[in-house]
Structure 1
């Protein structure tokens, strides 16, 4: 009798192997493999289309506003110095956040971003003689003015972020890290304006033909 059960088990395994695991693949989507009568939701999914209306919500809109206080993942930005340019007292901070390392790579990045977004108005030397001046688009202050030389780095960061006067905000074009890089490059332009050969490190003097 046990041989009969064993034979039946082997038969079932063989049947499943032949019918259920034939090794065949299909490139057709599931709604074509399975009849719509069994899985109608595969081809006719209920969904809201952008800018459409719906009676489901009280305001009749499918586009939903963000909940109050929602923060995108990775965008909590608790560091006020890094993301707002302010110190613990809520005042514009001087210097740079500890996350911003002043090195050749940062300066090169700052110069690149400056050349893209700042040169048209502020000029290559930071003197306010950009190309927009020749088109009568207003007067741009020079970075070499004492007021801007003494301005806290945090205030410059705030101006880049929110804009000021006729200058628009660049928050959508420059990340917080890039804003600090631009500020570092602006400080370099200011230093270069009043620099002297004695300010050049001895190791770099031969590159500039200095003794």
Structure 2
């Protein structure tokens, strides 16, 4: 009876000593290789490869959050940090980077962008567009939506009619206009 009890741990010990996986041939990063025609051991990722930290959650087509003053203030803060250097504080495309000679981005107040769906702005922030590089690694999805809400507020503020304002603000504007 004692022999089988000693035999089992011995078999497990022998099975664990096999080093085939640890000793298999491999290349160190950026080492030369005779296996490939270009002489490099490092290979470029296959088309369609997804990065490990990629956001794979489905992106909604419409604005996914209730628009609150807190969200708009967060959007303004993020817009001022990430977007205004090129797009300007009012979204007209005349930011400080443009004033220093870089190409101007489109104004958010063009009819094409005023009529664009919210998802368009979210996708552009995420993936970049034209000369704009992607901000997916810098701006989290909730902040991207906050920026989209703020862009919509900028667009609305430029074209809102005075009749859409509350009566007390309308009266204040009328008084200032008569001065």
Q: Which residue of 1 aligns with 2:72?
A: 107
Larger gyration radius, structure 1 or structure 2: 1
Residue 173 of structure 1 deviates from its aligned partner by: 1.2
The alignment partner of 1:102 has SS state of coil
1:41-190 to 2 correspondences below 5 Å: 56=23, 58-61=25-28, 77-81=56-60, 93=61, 95-97=62-64, 100-190=65-155
Moved over 2 A (4+): 55-62, 68-72, 75-80, 208-211
In the alignment, what sits opposite 2:35? none
User: Aligned equivalents of 1:70 and 1:172: distance in 2?
Assistant: 11
Change (3 A) 1:109 1:69: closer
Structure 1 equivalent of residue 161 of structure 2? 196
Alpha-carbon displacement from aligned partner over 1:48-85 (angstroms, at most 9, x marks no partner)? xxxxxxx64542459xxxxx98977xx8744331xxxx
Deviations 1:138-177 (A, max 9, x none): 1211000001011111111111001011001111111000
Q: Distance in 2 between matches of 1:174 and 1:70?
A: 16
User: Equivalents in 2 of 1:169, 1:177: separation in Å?
Assistant: 16
CA distance in 2: counterparts of 1:69 and 1:132, whole angstroms:
32
**1:161 & 1:109 partners in 2: Cα distance?**
17
Q: Name the TM-score, length of structure 1 as normaliser.
A: 0.56
Partner SS state of residue 156, structure 2? helix
5+ long unaligned stretches in structure 2? 1-21, 30-48, 175-179
Give the Cα–Cα distance (whole angstroms) in 2 for the partners of residues 111 and 147 of structure 1: 22
In the alignment, the residues of structure 1 paired with residue 56 and residue 106 of structure 2 have an alpha-carbon distance, to the nearest angstrom, of 31
Selected match of 1:205 from 166, 169, 174: 169
Q: Tell me, in whole angstroms, the C-alpha distance in 2 between the residues paired with 1:70 and 1:140.
A: 28
Q: Secondary structure at the match of 1:209?
A: helix
Q: Compute the RMSD of aligned alpha carbons.
A: 2.9
